[in-house]
Amino acid sequence: MFSIWYSVVYVFTIATVISFLEIQIEGEHGWAKNLPCWRANPKWKITKFYSWFQGGKEVTGYHLALNALEFIIFHSPFFAGISWSLVKELQILSCMPLFWLFQDFTWFVWNPFYGLKKFNRHSIEWHQKWIGPIPTDYLIGIVFSGIFVLLAVLLKNPGIIEWWLKTIVLLISLVIVSCAIQLIRKKNRV
């Protein structure tokens, strides 16, 4: 099983770096709205499935390539000498939806065109469904993450639940710190 530091530091660091990269690429126009990238035919069955998995969002070549890169990055420990096991694979798969959730949220936190004040259903057209102040995509991501954890529990690894809960709490804590840093930066700029 991977340590809590793998899941927290690795996931949060990659999420933050990818957020900064996407802010530089997309600017104020999220979900590749103005990028000159390939866009999948919405009538294709594979497009419909991938779009469903992405919360109904448009399928773009930009996001397919980025998601593939993220999949490779998350599996890089196996190429660096860590032995593969089904439990470790399930841990990685449980981290990926958390990564996407936190990466997406930190995109709003750090994006100078958004920030926390514009994190709402009225300012963000690509998050189509919300439950209160949270896009349903985020809740679905936590559910998918939890499913991978439950599969590991079925493989007689009950300790993974504690690892997962600590991971979520620590990731939320780091996001709160990021929000505080950004609020302090904005206050000092004025």
Q: Say which DSSP state 57 is in.
A: P
Cβ-proximal residues to 169 (8 Å cutoff; 6+ apart), any chain: none
| Domain assignment present for 55 | no
> Which alpha helices (DSSP H) does the chain contain, by range?
4-5, 11-26, 45-53, 61-79, 86-110, 136-154, 159-189
The boundaries of the domain holding residue 120 are 4-33+84-189
pLDDT of residue 190: 60
The radius of gyration computed from the CA coordinates of the chain, to the nearest angstrom, equals 17
Q: Give the Cα separation of 2 and 84 in Å (integer).
A: 11
Q: pTM (2 decimals)? A: 0.89
Residue 61 belongs to some domain of the structure: no
pLDDT at 177 over 90: yes
pLDDT (0 to 100) of residue 157: 86
pLDDT tens-digit map of 140-176: 999 999 999 999 999 988 889 999 999 999 999 999 9
Nearest to 59 by CA among 50, 70, 67, 72: 50
Tell me the per-residue pLDDT of 50-88, one tens digit each, with 9 for 90 and over.
877 777 788 889 999 999 999 999 999 999 999 999 999
Domains identified in the chain, total number: 1
pLDDT, residue 51, reads 78
Answer yes or no: is 102 within a domain.
yes
Q: Is residue 43 part of a domain?
A: no
Question: What is the rounded average pLDDT for all residues in the chain?
Answer: 90
Q: What is the pLDDT of residues 101-152, one digit of tens each?
A: 999 999 999 999 998 889 999 999 888 889 999 999 999 999 999 999 999 9
Q: At what angle do helices 159-189 and 136-154 cross, to 10 degrees?
A: 150
